[in-house]
Amino acid sequence: METLAVFHILKNGGTTLVDRYRHNPTFVYQRIDDEVMFNYKQSNQTKVYVNKCQDKNIRMIYGHGVDFEWDNHLQNPVKYATILRNPITRIMSAYNYFKLEMINIHNHITDMDIQTWIINCDRLLPTPVYTQYQQFSNYRTHRMRIDYGRQLDLSVQTKIYDEALENIEKLSHVLFMDDNYIEKFDNIASTFGLTPNKSVTHTHSTSQWLQEHGVDYVHFNDLYNIQKELIMETVTKDLEFYSYCKERFA
């Protein structure tokens, strides 16, 4: 038997898939590096440390904490997968999600503009945001901006990017959020013996929830040119990575 380990990248549709599959007894959720949760978000949820998983019946690992070390923790051969998203759409979704999380976690409606947020987005709680390609490197939480946020550290960015290109080849499945990813993921999951809860089709609705609090969802086309330019500078390398993966895996 094989196990599927799925890199859950923030704002790439992963929560929908987690909720669609967490009822399976062989599914575990991994939020942080050294532990997983069996029966995630159920009354009998149980925490198990990663280094104690060798004899556990795990067929799917999903979460922000997934890395390439699972080959060392399981007896089963491990296959890796992820879902990618257009970086411009993703960064706008992340900004709006930050505003929603400020309401949900801190009961505060923030008026932080997108320029301030994007310069600091890889350090701002409650939801730091990193590039997609960083997830496939040893620098998953590295902060890219230098010189008081005025510019990106291009040499470090290139180093991380090159490592990500090498590591992405370790993945057996790379899906894309705008390409019927739920149906395609269902087909993959079935080969690992997991079945979906078909009633779950979309978990997050940031726009609707913001609206309930009287807050508008901000779209890229709503921005001023200077804001758009800052976003494009920030996601340039991620767009390059996304385009490469589209050509390589789509």
CATH number at residue 29: 3.40.50
Total of domains in the chain:
1
d(CA 147, CA 141): 18
**Percent with pLDDT over 70 in the chain:** 100
Domain of residue 32 covers 3-249
- Token pair for residue 54? 């060798």
Q: Is residue 98 exposed (0-12), middle (13-18) or buried (19+ Cβ within 10 Å)?
A: buried
d(CA 156, CA 152): 9
pLDDT at 250: 82
d(CA 184, CA 95): 27
Cis previous bond, 126, omega within 30: yes
**Percent with pLDDT over 90 in the chain:** 96
d(CA 235, CA 186): 29
Report, as an integer, the average pLDDT of 54-59.
Answer: 94
pLDDT at 203: 76
d(CA 16, CA 173): 18
pLDDT at 147 over 90: yes
Over residues 100-140, the pLDDT tens digits come to 999 999 999 999 999 999 999 999 999 999 999 999 999 99
- Token pair for residue 159? 């180093």
pLDDT at 130: 98
Q: Please provide the average confidence, as pLDDT, over all residues in the chain.
A: 96
pLDDT at 170: 97
Nearest 5°: phi and psi at 74? -125, 150
Give the residue from 196, 172, 181 showing the smallest Cα distance to 4: 172
Over residues 195-220, the pLDDT tens digits come to 999 999 987 789 999 999 999 999 99
